[in-house]
A and B are shown apart, each in its own frame.
Chain A
Amino acid sequence: MNYFMQQIINALGWGSILALLAAGYTMTFGIIGLVNFAYGEVFMAAAFAAYFALTIFNLPYWVALLVGLISAIVIGLAIERIAFKPVRGAGMITLFITSLGASIIIRNLFVMLFDDSLKSFKTPNFLRGVYLLSDLIFFKKNILIFSITIILCIVLVYIVKNTKLGIAMRSISYDSQIAETLGINTERIIIITFIIASFLGGMAGILWGILFGSVRASMGVIMVVDAFIASVVGGVGNVFGAMVSGYILAIGSALFIAYLPQELIGLKPLFVWVIFFIILIFKPSGLFRANIK
């Protein structure tokens, strides 16, 4: 039983990162129907920016966090302006192909400049070490990551449900033309959505650096697929559902490989895809009601 509980506790750190990514993913997915494959590169670029600020320029931690988040927002908006705005309205498939192209361009650029090796990410001293509760181990950094995610989750759900901005977002996702005739500046709302999504992606990237102690150029492509699946499982456009299913997928994967024989551990990616196909066949609207759309 302790082994079981310990697996769940360990998965919470990774699950938080997945939850943040899935929340950002589901917002752009819900609002302009964009399956943003390049979102993983926003995640990766933020982690790299924070890594450079920490290691090369020796900046303090909060400055590195700021640098990472700002560069995530800049890159996210640049991708939106260059690759998505000109083809918006040309259908989901076209948007998907351009996002795939953008993702491959950015990832290969990073591999070309900094190669694909692991780069060690400094963890602040106060996050080293563990707490013990009876015989369960809680890593300090897992607790920090989990609490940051929960706070962001509450803020985000409040924004989407209760503020004017959130109501505007939801109306655009129902029908952007009607929203525009009702006097909503759709262009502005879409930009704000991208800023929020990139902020969440950047946060997730920096937290990934803290959690695993390393960053690499191909880390985005692994996570973006899982985040996409989490957003589908949670119901497209449903921020709360995406976060919960991010945790479900992370805990499920952790338990899946925990009880698998040692030589089959490489089969880990299969888990999320099996869940994806089961959900699409039996409950295509997702586990939770799709509440943006």
Chain B
Amino acid sequence: MKFEKNTIVKYILGAGLFFVTFYLLEKLLSGFWLTLFLLFGINVILAISLNVINGWIGFFSIGHGGIMLVGAYAAAFLTLPPSFKVGILNLHLPAFILNIQLPLLPALLIGGIFGVMAGVVLVLPALRLRGMYFCAGTLGFNIIATTIAENLPNVTNGAMGLRQFPSYTNIWWVWGIAIFLIYITLMLKKSYIGRAFISIGKDQCLAEHMGINLLKYKIYAFGFSAFFTAIGAILWVHLILNLYPRAFDLILVFSVVTMIVIGGMGSVSGSIIGAAIVTLFTEILAPIEEGFNFFGFQVPQALGLTTILLGVLLIVVLIKKPEGIMGEKEISLNFLKGKK
């Protein structure tokens, strides 16, 4: 790739702009709004990486919860303090894992690699199964991963889960990775690899006829998606500071699916809009679930209300506007340059 002087200036300006923005946001935001902003960033990561499979490759996966689980546990064993792993739980792991506590970056990379391994397992059903059967197979992957994690008390502490995580997640990690992922996927969409992905989604047989190696590109797509899904899960775990197998069940996957369906399958900017809508919706309505006093009238506790409303939103969008807000288009920044 040839870098012109203009391009380099543009990148430096962009980086400076993001740096200043996030510096200001870190100073300004706190408490609830900070958590909201971080969750938004994590949801952007999860939604875009799920969109690579569900929107581009055209295999509808609801098994990304299994990938999140594998990545999150792999990272958790590295970042948990040794006092918790040995002293409190007495986990049966190799000694060198029990006695170390790594910072976030190596944990993200190693967790991501384990996530990629789990993602490549998902390629196996994608080779033989189509449509609905692939969907059901990924659901099976999710359930199998959760069941195994719940039944290995010596390794994962079973359904009780793990606690005492160091609070690593901050704006810089979340939004740095999110901006990086947005940039990469937008570039990918225009490149040969991304167009190969999308052509597989449009018509698998035709894509094969055009000389696209299906196995190779499916492995690329699932690996890419799984790596960032695992990273999103690791950031999420280090934000909410606990981890148990049921955290990654169908409800979580359902909310990510809602994001990409609302935003538009196949569109990166659509995933961002969907993530924004779902995050705001969930977090703003969360206090209502606890019950509150409305001018002397006691509104009772209603646990699960946000999930119900999310389901209603999903069905309404699917009926009224099946292609989502953006369809397959992207928000174009070309108007800044003054051309169409």
Contact = CB atoms under 8 A, between A and B. Distances in A.
A86 B319 CA distance: 6
Interface string A270-282: 1001001100110
Contact of A87 (B62, B148, B250, B319): B319
A90 B304 contact: no
A100 B137 CA distance: 15
Nearest to B132: A92
A267 B308 contact: no
Given A104-B307, A273-B140, A280 B128 contact: yes
Contacts of B322: 87, 90, 94
Interface in B3-23: none
A112 interface: yes
Interface residues of B, number: 38
B318 A98 contact: yes
A269 B147 CA distance: 7
A35 B136 contact: yes
B136 A112 contact: no
A247 interface: no
A287 interface: no
Interface size of A as a range: 35 or more
B328 interface: no
A94 B314 CA distance: 11
B309 to A, nearest CB: 9
A111 interface: yes
Given A267-B147, A273-B144, A92 B136 contact: no
Interface string A15-27: 0000000000000
Dominant secondary structure at the B interface: helix
Contacts of B261: 97
Given A104-B251, A105-B311, A93 B140 contact: no
Contacts of A276: 136-137, 140
B173 interface: no
Nearest to A33: B132
Given A112-B305, A281-B128, A267 B311 contact: no
B249 to A, nearest CB: 10
Given A87-B319, A102-B315, A270-B147, A93 B131 contact: yes
Contacts of B33: none
B137 A277 contact: yes
Contacts of A225: 139, 143
Nearest to A110: B304
A81 to B, nearest CB: 12
A111 B302 CA distance: 9
Interface string B231-259: 00000000000000000001100100100
Interface of A: 33, 35, 82-83, 86-87, 90, 92-94, 96-98, 100-102, 104-105, 108-109, 111-112, 225, 228, 232, 264, 266-267, 269-270, 273, 276-277, 280-281, 284
Q: Which 7 A-B pairs have the closest CB atoms?
A: A108-B304, A105-B311, A101-B311, A266-B151, A273-B140, A86-B319, A92-B132
9 contacts: A90-B318, A93-B60, A93-B135, A98-B314, A98-B319, A100-B62, A232-B133, A270-B148, A281-B128
